[in-house]
Amino acid sequence: MTERRREVRRAIFPAAGLGTRFLPVTKAQPKEMLPLVDKPTIQYGVEEAIASGLEQVIMVIGGGKRAVVDHFDRSREIELYLEQRDKRDLLEILAGVDRLSDQLDILYVQQKDPLGLGHAVWTARRLVEGEPCAVLLADDVILGGPPCLRQLMDVYARTGATVLAVRRVPADQVSRYGVIDPGPSQGRLHEVRDLVEKPQPGRAPSDLAILGRYVLTPEVFRALDRTEPGAGSEIQLTDGIRGALETGRVVALEFEGDYYDTGTIPGYLKANLAMALKRPDLREEMLGVIREFMEAPEPLRESATGPV
């Protein structure tokens, strides 16, 4: 007899990290609020959760993340200012952000110390107890195709397993990621036998890297309950998933969609450029800028380019 599966209704957004790779900008500004052109990365995540049909987003935040809360709240001051000047197009942009929190509930829990991604997810345990839940890392922006979380939720509905989003990455980059040791595969769906966090070069079990989307079963939370951080070290989410492998099934989906890693400076800059080139109002101007840079003699001289 098959056990009746509970629906995935909630997503945890761990957003309590310190974003040290982006210092100094992240000294007093959450990394999740850094924009791709003019929209903060975390807003892309909330839009994906809505498009996936989720009912609740639980943001795990730490000190200094007030701007995230404010972003999804209403700003009457800016509204009033724009109303007085009849700036309807800008008012519509604000209204678009307001509507997000009408379409699902946004809850906040506090991770008091940044003890790792596994700990951040575990911090939200009481709000998801006994239910499967999605996890989205706002750094990983995935656009195009069916919403990535929805793709994982559909796999969960078919399998009842913990589901990881994976993508093949070049061999020289695997040691930056958690990597799966795949078992039998059916097309883009792989059984997971084991996972390794940041394998040594040449020692990765595959080129299938785990990216920032998951559906976790309650077994992962039970495994995280038992995981202790070592002195000064962090609780990894992969430890919780490895624990869940002992009692349950874990699968990995090679998802469809365009993936942007905005968690590193080169990845962030590339994502901004890609997004700007997709915008009809910016495309031509940006192509002109790129051409100008390409044609400029090395080293690039300010006088050759003028102010951008």
54 to 83, contacts with ligand UTP by CB under 6 A? 60
- Specify the stretch interacting with ligand UTP by CB under 6 A; choose among 10-18, 78-86, 92-100, 169-177: 10-18
State in angstroms the smallest separation of the CB of 240 from ligand UTP. 13
State in angstroms the smallest separation of the CB of 150 from ligand UTP. 20
Residue among 182 and 262 whose Cβ is closer to ligand UTP: 262
State in angstroms the smallest separation of the CB of 118 from ligand UTP. 9
Please tell me whether residue 210 binds ligand UTP under the rule CB under 6 A.
Answer: no
Question: CB count, 10 Å around CB of 64?
Answer: 15
Question: How do 10-15 and 133-136 pair as beta strands?
Answer: parallel
- Specify the stretch interacting with ligand UTP by CB under 6 A; choose among 4-12, 33-41, 108-116, 197-205: 108-116
Question: How do 162-168 and 250-254 pair as beta strands?
Answer: parallel
Q: What is the 3-state secondary structure (H, E, C) of 234-291?
A: CCCHHHHHHHHHHHCCEEEEECCCEEEECCCHHHHHHHHHHHHHHCCCCHHHHHHHHH
State in angstroms the smallest separation of the CB of 13 from ligand UTP. 8
| Residue 118 to residue 65: CA distance in whole angstroms | 19
State in angstroms the smallest separation of the CB of 209 from ligand UTP. 14
What is the DSSP-derived secondary structure letter of residue 200?
Answer: P
| Beta bridge partner(s), residue 303 | none
- Identity of the amino acid at 68: V
| Residue 258 to residue 204: CA distance in whole angstroms | 24
Please tell me whether residue 34 binds ligand UTP under the rule CB under 6 A.
Answer: no
State in angstroms the smallest separation of the CB of 23 from ligand UTP. 8
State in angstroms the smallest separation of the CB of 234 from ligand UTP. 6
Query: 263, 271, 275, 276: which one contacts ligand UTP (CB under 6 A)?
Result: 263
Residue among 180 and 286 whose Cβ is closer to ligand UTP: 180
Residue among 10 and 286 whose Cβ is closer to ligand UTP: 10
Structure tokens at 226: 């038992």
Query: 37, 51, 97, 115: which one contacts ligand UTP (CB under 6 A)?
Result: 115
| Beta bridge partner(s), residue 136 | 213
Residue among 110 and 247 whose Cβ is closer to ligand UTP: 110
Size of the site for ligand UTP (CB under 6 A): 21
Give the 3-state secondary structure of residue 78.
Answer: helix
Angstrom CA distances, 300 to 213, 285, 294, 306, stand at 39, 19, 9, 11
Question: How do 105-110 and 56-61 pair as beta strands?
Answer: parallel
State whether the Cα torsion 68-73-78-83 is positive or negative: positive
Please tell me whether residue 137 binds ligand UTP under the rule CB under 6 A.
Answer: yes
- Specify the stretch interacting with ligand UTP by CB under 6 A; choose among 15-23, 79-87, 102-110, 221-229: 15-23
| Residue 17 to residue 234: CA distance in whole angstroms | 11
Residues that bind ligand UTP (CB under 6 A): 14-21, 31, 60, 111, 114-117, 119-120, 137-139, 263
